Amino acid sequence: MLSVALIVAGAGLYAMLGTMASPPAQRALMAGGSPGRSLTASAVVFAPPRPQDAPEDIREGVMLGYNILMDTQTYAKEYVGNQLNCRNCHFNAGRERNTLSLVGVAAKYPKYRKRRKYVTDLVTRTQGCFQRSMNGKTLPPEGRHMQAIMAYYHWISKGLPIYADIPWLGLKKLKSGHKPDQAKGREIFDQVCSRCHGPDGQGTEIAPPLWGPGSFNDGAGMHKMKNFSAFTHHFMPKNNPTLSVAQALDVAVYSTSQPRPHFDSGK
């Protein structure tokens, strides 16, 4: 039953991705609206629907996508090469605003990616996350795991205008003239971060490893100083971010200098 639902959902999703590749004005007209109206700021509201409220014909796929992001180690273990779950960066499977939110990603892709120097769709983007952040391998594009994740992305992006300016997506980079200091970063890590991530950075029951074999590899976006520091400043400690910009930069330069798996583009 799930296979049939996912195949049907998958066909619809690929059709949606094809539509998304059309110019915004054309898509708006196809939908029966006006080009300008589809991108009004008033329509951009953070109100993601619950996964369990998805229509019956796609609910099972949406729920599987949600579960994969929440507990990747259980639901997509064969594609993961470390100890992380997607929710470690995308809190509550990306349904929270104060995180690397996924609400609206289906309205923003395909998009140009500097890393690839080409337009990338959501399937390719997600495969990159599994290869780099999860230190694993790509999911088959038409397989049940990937199609379920796509169904979930589209469901939680429901109602958001295509290619609108969605302010909560991405990481707001830090602006500072502070020169990061590894020694100070280690002190901050020991005093603040080690409570959850462990004294050796290898993780605990409540937080993932930040380096070592169980963490993301050196090809992951979080391995970049600008991303690690911004994530740390805006969201860490979780639910109570307290680090200053300078402290976030210091702990970022310390953490990203630690050993971790090497990204093998040939995997």
Closest CA to 206 of 191, 214, 195: 195
Three-state SS at 24:
helix
What is the model's pTM? 0.83
The 10 Å Cβ neighbour count of residue 61 is: 26
Evaluate whether the domain defined by 182-255 bears CATH number 1.10.760.10.
Answer: yes
Beta bridge partners of 113: 118
Spatial separation of the C-alpha atoms in residues 28 and 36, rounded to whole Å: 8
pLDDT tens-digit series, residues 175-198: 999 999 999 999 999 999 999 999
Domain boundaries, the chain: 2-156, 182-255
pLDDT tens-digit series, residues 96-150: 998 999 999 999 999 887 776 789 999 999 999 999 999 999 999 999 999 999 9
Element of type H or E holding 66: helix 56-70
User: CA angle, 16 as apex, 76 and 34 as ends, to 5°?
Assistant: 140
Q: One fold for both 2-156 and 182-255? A: yes
* 2-156 homologous superfamily: Cytochrome c-like domain (1.10.760.10)
Report cis status (omega within 30 of 0) of the bond before 110.
yes
Confidence of residue 265 (pLDDT cuts 50, 70, 90): confident
